[in-house]
Every structure is written in structure tokens, then in C-alpha cells.
Structure 1
């Protein structure tokens, strides 16, 4: 059995890192992971519980495939808990493929850094056990090294996703500002149209009133001789 552990500090608040962890796959760093599917998701006492199926390619060398078998896609079960109140996210993953010979239990936690609330502390632990096949110790070392390599890529992927989120937020803010400018321009145009229309209506009313006064001024009443006498 091999036990691998690691810690890393992200210079981002927990909410940002937790969001990036959900959007971690796919990414150009961890190309071995080809998909994640949600099996179950529910909220219990304010804690989000999620069960996902993770699809990946392990890329075993030929000698290892001859011992445990070969497959194009490997599957793992991932169960996670997100507690926004305590600002903690825990993910536990175990392989489903090759489970007759190999057991890889990995635990990843993201929590608010105890010394700096503006940062996030990442803790990782993996327990690797290979049994029932020759060269089990060698295979355990190989898997532990692969986990360590992928962990480094995973941290880079988190930073990549955070950069992507920041770009999306800037684009959204720019779009919102543009929409506001367009709304102000449209509102000003509408007010100008209303003012022009109102001014035109007043001019028409004034013109009609003037014409009526002119008509009254030009009106001559009939003389008395035209009035019949009785």
C-alpha cells in the first residue's frame, strides 16, 4: 500500500476556487479525463451532496495491461460535499475499473485558509493498493507517481478555469455596460421624439387657433335691411 499526500495554497477566495473545481473538466492540462456525469445531487441541511461518474484514460503500459487487463475508458465514482457555511468542499473518488486488482482512494478538500480568508487551502491524499497480481509494489509506485503528476496538472487547471471565469465576468460586465448605454441612447431618442411630437402638436394647435381667430375677424354680420319686417 502506498499513501500520497500534498498541500497547496491558492491565492483566491474559497468561493472562486470551489466554483472552478466544479468546472475543472474538460481542460487542456488534464486531457486524460474525458467526461463527468452527475448520477445524483441533493441538498441536505444546507450541504450539497453530489455523486458523479468520472470517465478517463489511465494509459497503462503494455506490461501492466498484460497483468490487469486493458480498456479504452476507465471509470471512477466521485462523491462530494459542499458546505458554503463552513466554506469547505470535500471530494472522495474511488476507481470502478480494475477494482478486482487495484484500489485507488483519493480525497481532495478545498477549505478557507486558516491564516488568510482571501486564500484557499487544498489538501490531497491518495491511498493506492494493488493485490492479486505480480509486481504489485512496482505498480503501486507507478500509480502514486501518476497521481502526483496529475495533481500538479490539476492545480494548473484550477488556475486556468479561474482565468476563464474572470474573462467571462469581464465580458458580462462589458456587455451590461453596452446594454445600459444603448438603453440610455434609446431612451433619449424616445424623449426627443416625444418632445418633437409634442412641439409639432402645439404648433398645429396654435396654427388652428390663429386660423379660427382670423376667420372670426373676417366674418361680417348681416345688415338690418335683410331682416324681414312684420
Structure 2
């Protein structure tokens, strides 16, 4: 068993990060994810609890195919809790496909940064366990190294990549600006229509006195 841990600070408030996690797909950082299905979602004691199934398609290297087979569609279970009172979001993910051979258990915790409330601190942990195959320790080291290398782009199960989160936030900001522009245009057109109607009635009253 190998354990990998990491911390990262986002220059965005906690509420923004939480919104971005629900809209992370599709994103250009990772095109492998093919589907997300909500298995269960409920609120208990003010905490939003969700269970989702993630499916992804990956081309495995030859060494991995010899270990786990040729399947290209992989499934993972994601359980999350959002506690708005404590301002904490927790995600726990584990692979379902070939989990009896290679198990990767991932835990992510998002909280306001203790030194700057306008930022968000991500604490990430992945536990890699390889069973029943030769050179299991070597494979565990290889997978842990891969996780560390890719952490900036996507996480173990492709659900909380740092670059992907930033991309979603930029997309949300763009949507807000587009909405504002559309709203301003509608308001301007409405004001112009009202002015035209008012001017028309004013001219009618002037040319046709009672």
C-alpha cells in the first residue's frame, strides 16, 4: 500500500469552488470522462450528501493491459458531502472496475484557507493498493508517481483536477458576463421602446388636442 498526499490553495472563495465541482464536465482538461450518473442525493441535518457513478474511457499501456485486461471503460464510485455551516466539502472516490486487483481510494477536502478566508485550501489523499500480481510494490510506486505527476490536470478519478476547476470557474465568469450583457441589451431595448411609445403619444396629443 502506498499513500500520496498533497495540498493546494485556490485563489477563490469556498462557495465558488463548490459550485465549480458540480459543473466540471465536460472540460477540455480531461476528455476521458464519458458519463456521470447520480445514484442518490439527499440532505441530512443540513448536509448535502451525493452518490455518483463516474465512467471513463482510457487507453491503457501494455503493462496495465497484461495485469487487468483489455477493458477500456472504467467505473468509479464518488460519495460527497457538502456542509455549508462548517463550509467544508468532502469527496471520497474509489474505483469499481478491477478494484480487486488495483484499488485506489481518494479523499479530497475543501475548506476556506485558515489564513485567508477569500481562498480555498484543498487537502488531497490517495491510497494505492495492488493485490495478487507480481511486482505489486513496483506497480504501486508507478501508480503513485503517475498520480503525483497528473495532480495539476486531474485527480485520481478525474473528478477534481486543479486545472479543470480553474477552467470551470473561468467559464462561469464568462457566462455571468454574457448574461449581464444580454440583460443590459434587453433593458436598453425596453427603455428605447418605452421612450418611443411615450414620444408617439406625446406627439399625438400635441397634433390632436381635445
Q: TM-score, normalised by structure 2?
A: 0.91
1:58 positional shift: 4.3
Q: Which range moved further: 116-125 or 192-201?
A: 192-201
2:166 aligns with 159
Give the 3 Å change call, closer, same or farther, for CA 8–90 of structure 1 in structure 2.
Answer: same
Contact 2:37 2:54 in 1 (8 A): yes
Corresponding residue for residue 197 of structure 1: 204
Aligned to 2:192: 185
Once the two structures are TM-superposed, the CA of residue 140 in structure 1 deviates from its matched residue by 1.0
User: Aligned with 1:119: secondary structure?
Assistant: strand
Distance in 2, matches of 1:176 and 1:130, equals 55
Alpha-carbon shift at residue 49 of structure 1 (Å): 0.9
Shift of 1:102: 1.5
Q: What displacement does 1:36 show? A: 1.6
Structure exhibiting the larger radius of gyration computed from Cα positions = 1
Does 1:61 find its partner at 2:68?
no
Unaligned runs of 5+ residues in structure 2 are 154-160
Residue 133 of structure 1 and its aligned partner are, at CA, apart by 1.1
- Contact 2:6-2:124 at 8 Å conserved across structures: yes
The residue aligned with 1:41 is 41
Alignment RMSD: 1.4
Q: How many residues align?
A: 203
Q: Which moved more, 1:25-34 or 1:74-83?
A: 25-34
Q: How far has the Cα of 1:161 moved from its partner?
A: 1.0
- Deviation, 1:48, is 1.1
* 1:91-142 superposed Cα distances (whole Å, 9 cap, x missing partner): 1001000012121100011111111110000110000101011121121122
User: Is 1:116–2:116 an aligned residue pair?
Assistant: yes
What CA distance in whole angstroms lies between the structure 1 residues aligned with 2:45 and 2:205? 60
Structure 2 residue aligned with 1:85: 85
Query: Which is worse superposed, 62-71 or 2-11?
Result: 62-71
Partner of 1:14: 14
Superposed, 1:144-155 pairs within 5 Å as 144-153=144-153, 154-155=161-162
Task: Tell me the distance in 2 between the aligned counterparts of 1:74 and 1:96.
Answer: 8
CA distance in 2 between counterparts of 1:193 and 1:77 reads 64
Which structure 1 residue ranges, 5 or more long, are not aligned? 206-230
Greater fraction helix: 1
Distance 1:149 1:105 in 2: 17
Higher strand share: 2
How far did 1:34 drift? 2.7
The answer on 1:130 being equivalent to 2:137 is: no
Cα displacement (A) at 1:32 = 2.8
Please say if residues 67 and 134 of structure 1, whose CA atoms lie closer than 8 Å, have aligned partners that are also in contact: no
